[in-house]
Structure 1
Amino acid sequence: MHIVNAATRRPHALGIVCLTSAVLLGTAYMAIAGAPMRYLGVNLGALIIGLTLLLLLERAARSGQGWTDGANLMMAGALLATALFGSQADGIARWVYWGGLAMQPSLILLPTMLVAFSRFRNVPATVSIVAAAVAMALQPDRAMAAMLVICLTALAVMRPDRHVCTALAASAASFAATLIRADRLPAIPYVDQILYSSFDLHAVAGLAVLGGLMLLVVPSVIGWRRAAESRAIYVAFGAVWFAAILAAALGNYPTPVVGYGGSAIIGYALSLLALPKFSSANALATAPKCGAIDEMPTDGPLSVALA
């Protein structure tokens, strides 16, 4: 119980546990389904890369909001570059190739941008979200545009302000633009529609996929219950990954983390950066006001949680 209590008070550590468990459940599904061993290696390698980036960037994120603003603008620029110059399939440009692997930058960058926006709302952050919305319309990517709308709507309900309303208006227009163009990409084995096909394969495979998807929203549920002052952040985190799961359930879009593909795995790890350091009443009593990076010392380095 002490270990469980400690984990639930440390959102980063809890997120690492949930991500690792979801990836392992996903590899179990792929092993049962007879996926190539390379697929399992790609997902496990993405987990290592994602957690390594989390450890390296966690310290840099303490430098303040200026670092966050610059990072958001760079990520928005990367999404626009993907829309304009990325690899295309049937007129859709969502991917870049790195080391022979297809990566989807929106699954890596957009969750991080949205969770960070829930904490830091200013002109640069709003410009970044609007630029990301334009990129999703240009690609087009209906699933990621829906992620924008769902997350920003939740934020607008909880804590409306002009930055959120501006970003929400841009995301709604982006989503409407994606609805105009047909998305006829076929389902890819071990990537799309596996929430259903896994149960057709075997009950254990289906439960592995379902359990892994449920783990993705656990940090937001625990954070909502334990950290009243940071609920907007946890709502954004939960809305982002719920939207990704919903898109995978309704269309031919990647099933996050448990399906084949490293983009969502790395994206989930990076989105943990914007979560508060602690999720307890005592920690919140001394936490800085909204709009400032948490400066509180962690109870043990993240490397311990990773181990």
Structure 2
Amino acid sequence: MELAEIESARAAWSFALGCLILALKLSLAEALPQAWRRVAYAGGPTARHGAACASAAVLAGSVFMAWAGAPKAWPWMNCVSLVFALASLALLPRQRLQSDASLRASLCLWMGTALLVSTALEPTAGLSGRWLRLGPVAVQPTWLLLPSLFLLSQRLPGAASAAMQRRTGLGLLLAMAGLTAQMEMCWLLLLGCLLLLRSASQQSGPGQTLLACLALLCAGVASQSWQAPPAQAFVDQVLLQAWAEGSGLALSWLVPATLLLLWPAWRQGQAGEHGLLWAGILLLSLPGWLPTPLLGMGGSAILGYVLSLAAVPESGTRLDVHRRSASAAAPPPEPPRRRRLRLALPKLRAR
């Protein structure tokens, strides 16, 4: 009725667009607090601490980009990516991902297949890796899938069979093949070092050591054609950029924000591999071999960090696995026997 009474078509379109924006604002104002509440209370301590640290790091990087003269849309794009990542983390079945070994192995296989299939994407000029364009948004499958793939390949205590280990190993092999075809030397080197550390710290047999050696061999093959990507302001070497500009004030909040990414591993022993993974990514980003995660422009790194928190097994998950296995091994209790009541009646003697 309101649109019919408006004479100008331009005014009608403005009125309809304003109603749409108002409806979106109201729906977001109702949905975002619920999503954050699910992240804060439904998840374990690793998800809570990781979500808070990711929010602080993205906020620190956005403030630096806005202060140092980056394109005006970049800080907002990082914040939108953070909101989308937190909402996705809230919707994921984290408890099942942390306890169901069969689901973890199947996801490893599917993610490795996706990384291999992403090789068919055309490379973008001036950018490293492959990019998947979803309308106006471009994401990098390696950043999205590889951190979660590595963490999902971690064997749960007492909950892995030979078939699950074969699926996990096959997923890692497919991921290595895809990274080798894309000449991702840094990711292969990081994956090989992490698998070596895992095989040394766990009694995982020769399988993990063989996969680590294979990843390092693929890194050597990829290094023959690898070239360092050209540095881009506010994307690569963000800390060195702040240092070169003499922004001591910016470094005073960027360096603590970088260390915050490792806070979940320091607080929770189960998140040790998560901390090692992102510590290696941060080290490789210092010379500019990888983009600076979360501090610089890049929604794929934000999504990769937040979504990988769902693959970290919580401390309570391990206890639940042992309780289920113990209860399954124990025989069922015997039903109580019925006792028959016998009444001792006095016998009458015949006279």
Shift of 1:130: 1.4
- Tell me which amino acid in the other structure corresponds to 1:103: V
Query: TM-score scaled to structure 2, two decimals?
Result: 0.71
Pair 1:65 & 2:101 matched: yes
Aligned counterpart for 1:19 among listed residues 54, 63, 68: 54
Which residue in the other structure is 2:208 paired with?
Answer: 164
Per the alignment, residue 192 of structure 1 pairs with 236
CA contact (8 A) 2:229 2:288 kept: no
Partner secondary structure for residue 153 of structure 2: helix
**Partner residue of 1:31 out of 63, 66, 74:** 66
Matched, 1:260 2:297: yes
Partner SS, residue 286 of structure 2? helix
Instruction: Name the aligned partner's letter for residue 80 of structure 1.
Output: L
Partner Cα separation in structure 2 for residue 246 and residue 134 of structure 1:
24
Q: CA deviation at 1:289?
A: 4.6
Gap change, CA 1:243 and 1:42, over 3 Å in 2: same
**Aligned residue for 2:254?**
209
Structure 1 unaligned blocks of 5 or more: 1-5, 225-229, 293-307
SS of 1:94's equivalent in the other structure is coil
Report the 3-state secondary structure (helix = DSSP H, G, I; strand = E; otherwise coil) of the residue aligned with 1:276.
coil
Between 1:10-19 and 1:51-60, the stretch displaced more is 51-60
Q: Deviations over 1:233-274 (max 9, x none)?
A: x23211210111011112342101111000111001111012
Mapped partners of 1:171, 1:208: distance in 2 = 36
The structure 1 residue matched to 2:134, chosen from 98, 101, 108, is 98
Could you tell me which of 92, 95, 114 is aligned with 1:78?
Answer: 114
Whole-angstrom CA distance in 2 between matches of 1:43 and 1:91 = 18
Q: Describe the superposition over 1:67-120 as per-residue Cα deviations: whole angstroms up to 9, x where unpaired.
A: 222222221122112223243437954222223333211111111111111235
Once residues 71 and 286 of structure 2 are traced to their aligned partners in structure 1, the CA distance between those partners, rounded to angstroms, is: 23
Shift of 1:213: 1.5
Q: Map residues 234-253 of structure 1 onto 2, 5 A cutoff.
A: 234-253=271-290
Change (3 A) 1:66 1:91: same
Which residue of structure 2 aligns with residue 227 of structure 1? Answer: none
- Structure 1's 61 and 285: CA in aligned 2 closer, same or farther, altered over 3 A? closer
**What whole-Å deviation, never above 9, does each CA across 1:199-238 have from its counterpart, x for those lacking one?**
22311222333222211111111223xxxxx4xxx23211
Q: Which residue of 2 aligns with 1:148?
A: 191
Conserved in 1, the CA contact under 8 Å of 2:104 and 2:153?
no
Describe the SS at the equivalent of 2:233. Answer: coil
Amino acid in the other structure paired with 2:172? I
Structure showing greater Rg: 2
Separation in structure 2 between the aligned mates of residue 144 and residue 135 of structure 1, nearest angstrom: 11
**What runs of 5+ residues in structure 2 fail to find an aligned partner?**
1-40, 326-351
**What TM-score do the two structures reach when normalised by structure 1?**
0.81
CA distance in 1, matches of 2:311, 2:133: 27
Quickly say closer, same or farther: Cα 1:39–1:169, change in 2 above 3 A: same
Aligned residue in 1 for 2:180: 137
Residue 142 of structure 1 aligns with an amino acid whose one-letter code is: M
Instruction: Give the whole-Å Cα distance in 1 for the aligned partners of 2:108 and 2:313.
Output: 18
The letter for the 2-side match of 1:43 is N
Q: CA RMSD in A?
A: 2.7
Do the aligned partners of residues 11 and 92 (structure 1) sit closer, same or farther apart at CA in structure 2, a change above 3 Å counting? closer
2:98, 2:314 within 8 Å by CA — same for their partners in 1?
no
Residues 88 and 81 (structure 1 numbering): CA distance in 2 closer, same or farther, change over 3 Å? farther
User: RCO greater where, 1 or 2, for CA within 8 Å and sep 6 or more?
Assistant: 1
CA contact under 8 A between 2:89 and 2:310: conserved in structure 1? yes
Distance in 2 between residues matched to 1:48 and 1:183, nearest whole Å: 34
Given the alignment of the two structures, is residue 47 of structure 1 paired with residue 82 of structure 2, yes or no?
Answer: yes
* From 135, 145, 151, the counterpart of 1:115: 151
Q: How many residue pairs get matched?
A: 274
Query: How many Å separate the matches in 2 of 1:256 and 1:285?
Result: 30
